[in-house]
Structure 1
Amino acid sequence: MKIAVHFNANHPTINTSFYGIPLLEKVFLSLLKYRNLNISTKIFIGDLLLLNLAYEYERTSSGTIGNFNKEKYFEVINGWIFTGNNIWRNFDYDRIEEVISSNVFAICFENIDFDLAEFLHMELKDYPPYLGAIEVDEVSELHWELYSQSLSPKYRIINDRINIFWDGINEGSKDNGWFDFLVKCGFIGVEFESLEGKYSIFDKYHNFKHARRVAEWKKRSNNFLAFVSDEVVTRLSDAAPDLGNKLWAAFKTFDVAETEEQYAQVTASCRRIIEYVADSLFPPTDEEHEGRKLKGPHYKNRLLAYADVERRSDTNIDVVIASTNLLSEQIDKLVGLVNKGVHTEVYREEARRCLIRTVLLLDDFISLKKDPFKINMHLLDL
């Protein structure tokens, strides 16, 4: 999700003309404390221009005049906190007066997971200038104005490395002064990255309509993917009652994994899940199917035999075969990395793909079955 953390830039503990420096340092130091950090996000920074949105402008013979509308200002504050949608927020409402009367500095993460957002909030909550965090809801035009239109793209963070954005046109826009600061914060790699005109007047996708469509797609896709996961466990648990436990264990192992051996356990869990489902749907047999052995070790043959028996269409069969082969290749690839000394980040990405493809393969097998799966009573503890 996209979140922003907010600070009172006028707080007396900030003793520097550019208040962004100590606030960024605090956020980066907090972020890099997170164990097993796995993040890839752009960072946008700047003042939260709530006050600006409360002005009403009129043209006169002497030019355009802006008039501050106090009532509109409180409407802006309310619309900023309560967008009308169900969003995550961790805000100290007792400090709203500081928001109204002070300059608010915002640091916005374009993409961050819920656990890391919660961790960051807990790390910052006792920091005196900190005001709170909120999920950016770009279905709201007000939020888009405040965070996407008004804040400036400054960095891209990929785990413990960081890129500094520059416009890609003028070499003078590269600010080398940030290098030492970012290394001091704890980043192990600092580089420049060109924006190539993105977020500028040349970017035809930088507008509210496009942002709203993307935000709506994210919300719907989250629901859709959750539905797929629910469907897999709900339907297959009749035939494979221990599936929920096995999936939970695999994802739990992935969440805490930090070493190559732990990621290898994730992959092994993926293989065992598929073997377990194969045993449940098409138990081992000494018989053969179209020349393929169906004994215990040949779980892929048994899955394909099951797909053939339950054949609903050649398209379904082709999808299952392709998915099975893809997952098998993914597992073999990760196993093959164990002794190659590659960076742990590679293991994590490969293990994540194994988990995703395991769930999607199970969903493919659900697509083969028009009727409910037969309940396997002998697999239940009665």
Structure 2
Amino acid sequence: MSASEKGSKRQMKVALHFSLKRESLDYIDGYEIGNVVLRAMISHGNFETAIRTGDLLLQRHAMECRGDLLQRTWTYSESKYLATSAAWVLSSGGLWGCFLPLNAIKCLTRNVFVICLENISLECAKRLSLEFGFLPYFLGALEVDDKIPLHALLYSNCLIPWLRVAGKSIYLFKDYFDDEESLDSLESFTSLGAVHVEYETP
């Protein structure tokens, strides 16, 4: 196997970024985005990864806390937001990414929904990015390195474990605090092409 072939097969963690506001000024929600991504992955049939989802919370980490344990106030800090945004842009240096410069800026100025694939090959990441590149609300993909504190914060700590996909099987994460009404129905995943769906404790 050549060096380029080995590189395309290497496993990594990748975050897909989507704008919750389309260019046509209407909105799309995370549930709809999740279905689009999952349908594509199931149709290929060769993905095996856990998935986390949630918002890219850059602005939340620009809040400053004042006061003591009895009385705290939180205020938005423009300087802290600019520093966090700059750190996010710089953190991609040396990592694989598929972002147009304009779309990277949109990640800093829009509400962004993230679907993070915990274990995916470079080859598959490129394939998904190419496939989603035609969607007006897809902003880009970024390799995640949890050794970078900001990456660990944004893409691990702040995202919610959703499910695990293995080929055409779906294992929906369920913990002790979930009840049946709070979970996606198993049947909703069969409509996306899954041939087997069950609950699983992450």
After superposition, residues 337-352 of structure 1 pair within 5 angstroms as none
Unaligned runs of at least 5 residues, structure 1: 196-382
Q: Are 1:113 and 2:138 matched, yes or no?
A: no
Match of 1:3 among 1, 9, 14: 14
Shift of 1:156: 0.6
Q: Are 1:26 and 2:39 matched, yes or no?
A: no
Residue 156 (structure 1) aligns with: 164
More strand by share: 2
Does the CA-based 8 Å contact 1:8-1:102 persist in structure 2? yes
Match of 1:98 among 91, 96, 106: 106
CA RMSD of aligned residues (A): 2.1
Does the CA-based 8 Å contact 1:14-1:22 persist in structure 2? no
SS at match of 1:127: coil
Structure 1 pair 120/192, CA: closer, same or farther in 2 (3 Å)?
A: same
User: How high is the TM-score relative to the length of structure 2?
Assistant: 0.84
Q: In the TM superposition, what whole-angstrom CA distance separates every residue of 1:145-197 from its partner, at most 9, and x where no partner exists? A: 10110100010111111111010x246157554323211111111100023xx
Percent of aligned pairs with the same amino acid: 29
The CA distance in 1 between the partners of 2:57 and 2:89, in whole Å, is 14
Residue 264 (structure 1) aligns with: none
The CA distance in 2 between the partners of 1:76 and 1:66, in whole Å, is 17
SS at match of 1:178: coil
Q: Are 1:42 and 2:50 matched, yes or no?
A: yes
Match of 1:71 among 72, 79, 100: 79
Shift of 1:14: 3.5
After superposition, residues 323-338 of structure 1 pair within 5 angstroms as none
SS at match of 1:112: strand
The CA distance in 1 between the partners of 2:134 and 2:140, in whole Å, is 10
Shift of 1:61: 9.3
After superposition, residues 1-382 of structure 1 pair within 5 angstroms as 1-11=12-22, 12-14=25-27, 19-34=29-44, 37-59=45-67, 63-83=71-91, 86-167=94-175, 169-170=176-177, 172=179, 175=182, 177-195=184-202
The CA distance in 2 between the partners of 1:162 and 1:61, in whole Å, is 43
AA aligned opposite 1:78: A
Structure 1 pair 171/137, CA: closer, same or farther in 2 (3 Å)?
A: closer
AA aligned opposite 2:20: A
Does the CA-based 8 Å contact 2:88-2:150 persist in structure 1? yes
Structure 1 pair 38/84, CA: closer, same or farther in 2 (3 Å)?
A: closer
Unaligned runs of at least 5 residues, structure 2: 1-11
Ranked by relative contact order (alpha carbons within 8 Å, sequence separation 6 or more), the top structure is 2
The CA distance in 1 between the partners of 2:184 and 2:70, in whole Å, is 43
SS at match of 1:185: coil
Structure 1 pair 84/162, CA: closer, same or farther in 2 (3 Å)?
A: closer
Q: Number of residue pairs matched?
A: 189
The CA distance in 2 between the partners of 1:26 and 1:61, in whole Å, is 44
Does the CA-based 8 Å contact 1:30-1:124 persist in structure 2? no
The CA distance in 2 between the partners of 1:176 and 1:189, in whole Å, is 17
Structure 1 pair 39/31, CA: closer, same or farther in 2 (3 Å)?
A: closer
More helix by share: 1
The CA distance in 1 between the partners of 2:130 and 2:190, in whole Å, is 24
Shift of 1:102: 1.8
Query: Highest Rg: 1 or 2?
Result: 1
SS at match of 1:42: strand
Structure 1 pair 115/68, CA: closer, same or farther in 2 (3 Å)?
A: same
Does the CA-based 8 Å contact 1:3-1:110 persist in structure 2? yes
Does the CA-based 8 Å contact 2:55-2:114 persist in structure 1? yes
AA aligned opposite 1:24: G
